[in-house]
Amino acid sequence: MSHKKLYFSAIAAFALVATVFFIAGQSDQPDDPDILPLTATSESRISDTASVEHDEKVNPVSESALPPQPISPPRPVRAPEEYRLSESEEGNEPEVSTVSWQMEVGDLSYDISSLLGSSLYEAMKKYQSESANFSFKAKYFPGMGYFIEEINGKKSEGGGYWTLYINSKESVVGASQYIIKEGDLIKWNYEKR
């Protein structure tokens, strides 16, 4: 399951749980007249306390302490259109959107299909787990993302490092920031500068 799909599933689950708890809290209001239901307004609370003279159980509440209107349950969160899953024609199973792209490392070429919305780093990690002829190592730098240190056993060392080219142009972003698009040509060149 992709990170984005998992993220949106978690948001939907949280919204559902919050709504259930909100509705349950609305239905079992206590019998204590000093505890107001969430739909009460400050005017009704003040008129309730005004009718009870000298009752020490009732504490007047200032208008600013009460909600001015009923509290609404959280609205459902909806994923952006490009990340939504469409229903397949063969049944109710969701159809996962993918992009096809090519990656070149030295003389090797790889045809890869990744989930729509994946970063280059995420797509490379997934491909590495599925392929016996591709490997890489990366180091994380806070605030910058991942730096590719090794591809297929060739390490960045001695003044040489892996340079990322996207569609024949040297990239200005790193592998963890670039989102793969349909038909991309990703090239890793080992260069010394």
Question: What confidence score (pLDDT) does residue 139 get?
Answer: 93
What is this structure's pTM? Answer: 0.52
CATH number of 97-192: 2.170.130.30
CA distances from 12 to 8, 83, 87, 172 (A): 6, 14, 18, 35
Mean pLDDT, range 119-127, rounded to an integer: 96
What is the pLDDT confidence band of residue 121, given thresholds at 50, 70 and 90? very high
Task: Tell me what percent of the residues of the chain surpass a pLDDT of 90.
Answer: 44
Sign of the Cα torsion 35, 39, 43, 47 reads negative
pLDDT of residue 96: 72
Q: Quick: pLDDT tens for 151-190.
A: 999 999 888 999 999 999 999 999 999 999 999 999 999 9
Would you state the pLDDT for residue 22?
A: 53
Cβ distance 135 to 127 under 8 Å? Answer: no
Query: Could you tell me which residue, 143 or 44, shows the higher pLDDT?
Result: 143
Q: Other CB atoms closer than 10 Å to residue 17's CB: what's the count?
A: 11
Mean pLDDT of 79-102: 68
Q: What are the residue boundaries of the structural domains of the chain, listed by start?
A: 3-65, 97-192
Phi, psi of 81 (to 5 degrees): -50, -40
Q: Is 51 left (phi over 0), alpha (psi -120 to 50) or beta?
A: alpha
